[in-house]
A = this chain, B = another copy of it.
């Protein structure tokens, strides 16, 4: 793969708010320690507990950030799409990953040496401030969502998550769910059976059309009402 292909290069840097602040020299420097890697759907990018040596920047695709509890159950903390800076979140608090990340769609990453990124923090204070802002935003979003979920009943959570994928991830009323029923359950803290039951109810009530992973929202107003009602 050609790492210096200007098209890829452009994707990796200039579309990213975070890297906007870099000088040409800094871009050259960081570019020299970067590589690119494609992860297929289902593949693991990093595992909780591993040492953090690199900084991952999601270029395309979709990933899940998750944690396994004592009983072995997975808890999905967040779904991230490109430019969500999901790498940020798990890279600076510790020398080891606190969470695992795996691809729920084919995903390509730019991979930087973490030391180089830390060096940038030192040399470029605009970059540092931007980093701080972004870490805070990601945390805020995760925490706000969790609180939102806590006050919703199961149907409200399902409605919320359908809207999340429709509006935030795919910007489309029709889309293919990248998660299994089990993963949806892990994301919104309910059982697989009840995810299925709620989806079936929504179908019977003509709120959505669903066939396997293909979803089409029919009654958007009702879906929003259910999501907001909690």
Residue numbers of A with Cβ under 8 A of B are 67, 69-71, 73, 75, 77, 89, 91-94, 98, 118, 121-123, 125, 128-129, 131-133, 135-137, 139-140, 142-144, 146-148, 150-151, 189, 228, 230
Contact = CB atoms under 8 A, between A and B. Distances in A.
Contacts of A98: 140, 144
B93 A151 contact: no
Instruction: Label chain A's interface by main secondary structure.
Output: helix
Given A121-B132, A128-B132, 8 more contacts: A70-B230, A71-B151, A91-B136, A92-B132, A92-B136, A94-B136, A128-B128, A131-B132
A89 B150 CA distance: 21
In the complex, the count of this chain's copies comes to 2
A189 B147 CA distance: 9
Contacts of A71: 151, 230
A194 B118 CA distance: 47
A121 B127 CA distance: 10
**Among A121, A139, A146, A151: residue with most chain B CB under 10 A:** A139
A89 B151 contact: no
